[in-house]
Every structure is written in C-alpha cells, then in structure tokens.
Structure 1
C-alpha cells in the first residue's frame, strides 16, 4: 500500500469513491484520471491525466477503478491486475461489516451499508449507499448492488450482475451472471437465465 491514491473516473461514481477515500484517511493525497479533457478537477481534486496514463503512475499511487459500468470496470480492473498493480478495497466509515466477511480488491462499500457475517464479496464490486447484504451471501466479481437494495440470507449473485435501486432478494435465491434486476423488483425464486427482470414478483422482460 502506498500513501497516495489515484482514482480512474472523475464523474458521479468516481466522486463518491473519492469521498469515501478521503473519509478513510489512509492516503496523504488523492488524484483522478479521466478521459474527458474538459474535466480539470472534481470535488477540488486534480485530474492529472487520462485513463491510458495509469501505468505511468503505478510506482507512486495505489489505483482504484471508479467506473460505475460493470463491464468497463471489469475490463480496466483486469488490465491493472495483470500488471500486478495494487488495488485497494474502500469501506465508508459508517458501513457495518460483520465477522468472517471477505471483501476482495477493488470493491467499494458505501455509506450506511450493512454486510452481515460469513459473506464473501468478490473483486470490483459496488455495494452502494444503504444496501444490506445478509449472512452467508456470495457476491461474485464486478457486481453492482444499488442504493437501498436488500439481500436476505444465503443469496448468491453471479458475476457482473446489477441489482437496481430498492430491489429485494429473498433468502436462498441464486441470480445468475450478467443479469439486470430492475428498480424495486422483488426476486423470490432463482434466476438461472441471463436477462432483465422487473416487477413484484420479478419476471424476465428480455
């Protein structure tokens, strides 16, 4: 771990990531990379280059991918990982993390989140504001659990899936990879086919 942090992405998600990093008080300085040349700073934090410049900075900075899109975040994370770059895990000070919880590199846990005991959360995940993840969950790599989503016990969410704001997943439910669960949807049964699911109870629309 280094004493400076570089965040790839200076827009909405990146700003929240930076805010968490500031509150963690582990880095003496923070900077952004962003491909929008019109953005010179964000939250008063300097943008020091484009995402393609990242490997010029790995000797001096820890690197975090502050990109909201699951697919893009995974692509960038994998490139960094392949080069042996240190990618931290960010946890807001107000989050509650239970015993025997595993959080992999590149995952961010935002304000007001509760992750209960014996849960495993993979690489590059977003556990967004006020979400709850109960006991014995398995959240695979590059999943986004949106603000106010609630997962009961023994839920498994496959790689790259996105659970929309306010969605609810009942206990002992499996959601396969690369799914979208719409805002406010209630998942009561396993989802075994990739697609978009909405409604109460949830059903596939495409």
Structure 2
C-alpha cells in the first residue's frame, strides 16, 4: 500500500492499515520537501515508476485537494480501507479510495462513494447515499435516507435528520443540526442549521 500525503490524516490511515490483516505500508509520499518522516516511515517526494498493481490511498483531509489529485493521477486507487473496530453492514457499498476510521458505523444499504472519509465514531444510518469526496467528521450522525452531494464536509458532532438532501460542496459546521434540505455550496451552522454564506468553488 502506498500512502499519498504525510499529514495528521495520514497517521490515522496508517492506524487503519495496521489494524488489518494482510495489509502493509510500502511507501509514504508527500510533495512537501520539508516533510521527511511520518511516524516510523521515511517520506519520499515523487511518485515515480509505480507498479500498476500497487494500490494508493489519498491520505489528504481536504476534499477539493483529493478531488483534484484523483482526477490527474494515473494510478490504481485502493479498495476501501476499514478499521478493524468499525462496524460496516454487509449490505452497504463503499467506493475505491474511501476510508472508514475507528469505531465508525455504517448501517444497512448505505452507499458511500469514492475517496470519502468516514471519520472516527461517525454514524451513517440505513439507506444513506453519500457521493464522492465527502468527509463525515468525528462523531457526526447521518440518519436514515439522507443524500449528500459530492465534496461536502460534515463537521464534527453534526446531525442530519432523516430524509434530508444535502447539496454538493456544502460545509456543515461542527455541532450543527440539519433539519432542512441544504443547497449546493452552502455553509450552514447552528441548531437548527442556517445558511450563513456560500462556498466559492473554482475547480469543481
């Protein structure tokens, strides 16, 4: 396994990989020349001559950076990485490059897109549909039948009530409680969550 990115988020992905049988870390790569070591791993700075059978995980927390990198890197992205302590229903589906961290729960018939982050202790309930490049932060609760668009970030401890539709590239603040549908690019905060501004997405 090759880890692309040497941030704090990468450290948590290392913990996921270490928790899994038959998984190992071959290489850590980051384009920042000032970063030479991450935990016990030396950090390389170029992605060269990678064998096509070696899988890569994008260990980058920012959704837009993952989105841009996935579009331009001609490499094989990994199957979903799921921490051994996470609970994931057999009837759920997860896309390539997605990561599920310790103590997260993904329940029946949930669909998680590609390159998503389901962070520590987050809960994704039944029949939820999460599009690509979404980050569900620690302790967030996505209740049943919610739909979340591409690139959206759900803040730590936020709650989305059943049946809501959240647009693409939305930012939901920490602790927010979403009780209405949220339009594309909105930034929402509070309980109940209210739109306070809109994200400017230039490269979407």
Q: How does the TM-score come out when normalised to structure 2?
A: 0.92
Structure 2, unaligned runs of 5 or more: 198-204
Matched, 1:78 2:74: no
Mapped to 2, the partners of 1:69 and 1:107 lie a distance apart of 13
Equivalent position of 2:82 in the other structure:
91
Deviates more, 1:135-144 or 1:13-22: 13-22
Equivalent position of 1:20 in the other structure:
16
Larger proportion of helix:
1
Cα drift, residue 60 of structure 1: 6.1
- Structure 1 residues 26 and 153 mapped into 2: Cα distance closer, same or farther (>3 Å)? same
Equivalent position of 2:170 in the other structure:
179
Structure 1, unaligned runs of 5 or more: none
> Aligned to 2:57, which of 60, 64, 85?
64
Matched, 1:117 2:113: no
Mapped to 1, the partners of 2:180 and 2:186 lie a distance apart of 15
Q: 1:84-103 CA distances to partner (integer Å, 9 max, x unpaired)? A: 52422110000001131000
SS at match of 2:47: helix
How big is the alpha-carbon RMSD for the aligned residues of Structure 1 and Structure 2?
A: 1.4
Q: 1:133-164 CA distances to partner (integer Å, 9 max, x unpaired)? A: 00000000000000000011000000000000
SS at match of 1:87: coil
Equivalent position of 1:204 in the other structure:
195
> Aligned to 1:30, which of 23, 26, 33?
26
8 Å contact from structure 2 (residues 77, 97) kept in 1: no
4+ long deviations beyond 4 Å: none
Equivalent position of 2:200 in the other structure:
none
Mapped to 1, the partners of 2:154 and 2:189 lie a distance apart of 10
Equivalent position of 2:150 in the other structure:
159
> Aligned to 2:4, which of 8, 29, 43?
8
Cα drift, residue 116 of structure 1: 0.3
**How many residues in Structure 1 have an aligned counterpart in Structure 2?**
197
Q: How does the TM-score come out when normalised to structure 1?
A: 0.91
